[in-house]
Amino acid sequence: MKKLMTGNEAIARGFYEAGGSIACAYPGTPSTEVLENIALYKDIYSEWAPNEKVALEVAIGSSIAGARSLAAMKHVGVNVAADPLMTFGYTGVNGGMVLVSADDPGMHSSQNEQDNRYYAKFAKIAMIEPSDSQEAKDFMKDAMEISEKFDVPVLYRVTTRICHSKTLVEFSDREEVGIKKYEKNIAKFVATPGNGRKLHVVVEDKLKKMEEFSNETRLNQVEWNDKKVGVITSGISYQYAKEVFGDNVSYLKLGFTHPLPFAKIEDFAKQVETLYVIEELEPYIEEQIKARGIDCIGKEKISNLGELNPDIIASALLGTEGEVAAAVAELKEDVIGRPPTLCAGCPHRGFFYTLSKKKNVMITGDIGCYTLGSAEPLNAMDTCICMGASISAGHGAQKAFNFHNVDKRVVSVIGDSTFFHTGILSLVDVMYNKGNSITVILDNRITGMTGHQQNPGTGYTLMGEETNQIDIPSVCKAIGVKNIIVVNPLDLNANEEALNKALASDEPSVIITQWPCALKKFSKEDKERFDCTPKTYEVKEDKCKQCKMCLKSGCPAISFDEVAKIDKTMCVGCSVCAQVCPFDAIEKVGE
């Protein structure tokens, strides 16, 4: 059977077919759908972890216990998981273990475009790079076999265009592998210095053996055509190269990319007149083969900035510039910006609206939908670094202001899922080190940005079971916070009161805003706790004084054409605009 599948769906299918049984992840674009699809296979136990370090450690534990396991995350997630990864590279596995790293060249939805292939080299583990969905599925079986054969975790490196492109996939049946026998092995799995020093020797030996394998495996293939030009490439870059050169040049297509097959590369290089290395982002392959004395053309022609595509390759290596007709250039002058915005009815908007009016405040932000609070017209954010940094960077900033007698308060904003991810520890730091920054936990009852994944605060697991729901106010209390204020972020007066109270105090405070995401399917608990009756608001045109105050809330449902207008299909009745309007011109429909 052939089916059109995204790379993420194919990775899930591959894990199923390879007899995988335990999978864990924290959602992050472009990796999120790997676990969402694994959850559809009932032969696999799958779960969301609060962060990537925990996800990898769950997979590590199940591998040590003997099960084939997988952890999936986006590129920056591997930074969070780097600590266990480095040591797991030393101990090795029992059941096969794969870490899917979904990189985001071009930063479609990320804060940087790091090339995670260096993590494989750094952690001294095997790496596999599929170039389409069929390979994303097929190579998973190879990955599990390699992991068990060489006693090493495998970095399964994909990129946005692999994850989110759909290409045809032919299915196979699941191979039932069960669980390998677990035997206590202190010298292998207890990484004390004494054991670690021995394991390092073992790792170096594994790398040599894996390099031999890399030279032999069919994952690294030569396609001989004309030998004037040879191209070494991997992942999606292979497809782009084929698009440009077709069957006119020879290829060394690499699917197993750590350790690299240097003997095979040397042999290929010798037989071609000109050697190109075509790779996206960093010169990972190029650097290593140049270090071995093999001459090639790479990053001096193809930039390490942004996402690669066939156009870039064609103009860099063939000198064919893409033509943009004058007609297009002229018409393009009319193009308006279309930045992403907080949704109509987003509960964060109300809080950000109030917060944006506060003077002499630095707002440290975090990773999630609410990062959009930084956009016009709210402009309610000063920083955004990585998950959890809002609270700890905010604490640092507040300490710096206090230390130097600068009269400025810091408000850190973080989402519910991100609070569980790494924010909890940052709040521990604020309390332990006697900070006095204000933390706002924007609890929209779901993980919003990645498309509604459950988290420890929602009361449901990835597999759809009801579970223990972590109560954020109680957690804050346990950490030692005394000033805890819970507000409905759609109530602007309540926001104002909460912020004033927190700003008036020299002590640390936590404000928790609670209202479900406007796009969320309400859970049973949501229906009990929140007013979920559908409603909309409209502008009474005779009362509108054209002051445009309502536009300052930044709601995409409100436009202005002589008078303010509310798009009925978008409005969910959050009422923020009605509270903002000084002339009571915005009213609930049907009252």
CA distance 69 to 23: 6
CA distance 570 to 549: 19
Per-residue mark of binding to another protein, 338-367 (x: CB under 8 A): xxxxxx------------------------
Q: Which helix (H) or strand (E) holds 401?
A: helix 389-403
Per-residue mark of binding to another protein, 132-171 (x: CB under 8 A): x----------------------------x--xxxxx---
Determine contact, residues 222/251, Cβ cutoff 8 Å.
yes
Tell whether residue 108 is a contact of another protein (CB under 8 A). Answer: yes
Tell whether residue 319 is a contact of another protein (CB under 8 A). Answer: no
CA 125-128-134 angle, 5° bins: 155
Residue 119's Cα: distance from chain center in Å? 16
Determine contact, residues 509/481, Cβ cutoff 8 Å.
yes
Q: How far is the CB of 533 from another protein (least distance, A)?
A: 22
Q: How far is the CB of 556 from another protein (least distance, A)?
A: 5
Tell whether residue 386 is a contact of another protein (CB under 8 A). Answer: no
Count of other CB atoms within 10 angstroms of residue 281: 23
Tell whether residue 178 is a contact of another protein (CB under 8 A). Answer: no
CA distance 293 to 372: 48
CA 138-140-142 angle, 5° bins: 85
Nearest to 238 by CA among 182, 289, 277: 277
Tokens of 340: 């992403």
Determine contact, residues 277/297, Cβ cutoff 8 Å.
yes
For another protein, the binding residues in 409-428 under the rule CB under 8 A are none
Q: How far is the CB of 276 from another protein (least distance, A)?
A: 16
CA distance 241 to 313: 7
Q: How far is the CB of 109 from another protein (least distance, A)?
A: 3
Count of other CB atoms within 10 angstroms of residue 388: 23
Tell whether residue 375 is a contact of another protein (CB under 8 A). Answer: yes
- Residue 483: strand pairing partners: 509
Tell whether residue 205 is a contact of another protein (CB under 8 A). Answer: no
Q: Which helix (H) or strand (E) holds 514?
A: strand 509-514
Residue closer to another protein, measured from CB, 168 or 406: 168
Q: How far is the CB of 101 from another protein (least distance, A)?
A: 17
Report phi then psi at 155, rounded to 5.
Answer: -85, 115
Q: Give the list of residues 6+ apart from residue 96 with CB closer than 8 angstroms, or none.
A: 18, 20, 63, 68, 69, 143, 144, 145, 146, 147, 148, 154
Tell whether residue 186 is a contact of another protein (CB under 8 A). Answer: no
Per-residue mark of binding to another protein, 426-465 (x: CB under 8 A): -----------------------x-x--------------
Residue closer to another protein, measured from CB, 533 or 569: 569
Tell whether residue 558 is a contact of another protein (CB under 8 A). Answer: yes
Determine contact, residues 371/384, Cβ cutoff 8 Å.
yes
Q: How far is the CB of 435 from another protein (least distance, A)?
A: 31
Tell whether residue 545 is a contact of another protein (CB under 8 A). Answer: no
Tell whether residue 306 is a contact of another protein (CB under 8 A). Answer: no
Q: Which helix (H) or strand (E) holds 99?
A: strand 97-103
Residue closer to another protein, measured from CB, 474 or 559: 559
Count of other CB atoms within 10 angstroms of residue 252: 25
Report phi then psi at 157, rounded to 5.
Answer: -100, 120
CA torsion angle 400 402 407 413 (round to 10): 60
Determine contact, residues 431/458, Cβ cutoff 8 Å.
no
Tell whether residue 325 is a contact of another protein (CB under 8 A). Answer: yes
List the one residue from 149, 556, 563, 587 that touches another protein (CB under 8 A). Answer: 556
List the one residue from 198, 270, 434, 548 that touches another protein (CB under 8 A). Answer: 548
Q: How far is the CB of 161 from another protein (least distance, A)?
A: 6
- Residue 102: strand pairing partners: 74, 158
List the one residue from 87, 185, 474, 559 that touches another protein (CB under 8 A). Answer: 559
Tell whether residue 314 is a contact of another protein (CB under 8 A). Answer: yes
Residue closer to another protein, measured from CB, 186 or 335: 335
Per-residue mark of binding to another protein, 267-286 (x: CB under 8 A): --------------------
Tell whether residue 227 is a contact of another protein (CB under 8 A). Answer: no
List the one residue from 193, 322, 582, 590 that touches another protein (CB under 8 A). Answer: 322
Residues in the interface with another protein (CB under 8 A) total: 57
Size (the chain), residues: 591
Q: How far is the CB of 460 from another protein (least distance, A)?
A: 22
Tell whether residue 323 is a contact of another protein (CB under 8 A). Answer: yes
List the one residue from 317, 372, 492, 578 that touches another protein (CB under 8 A). Answer: 372
Residue closer to another protein, measured from CB, 155 or 367: 367
Q: How far is the CB of 328 from another protein (least distance, A)?
A: 5
Binding residues (CB under 8 A) for another protein: these are: 2, 4, 29-30, 108-109, 132, 161, 164-168, 236, 239-240, 242-243, 246, 309-311, 314, 322-325, 327-328, 330-332, 334-343, 369, 372, 375-377, 449, 451, 548, 551, 554, 556, 558-560, 569
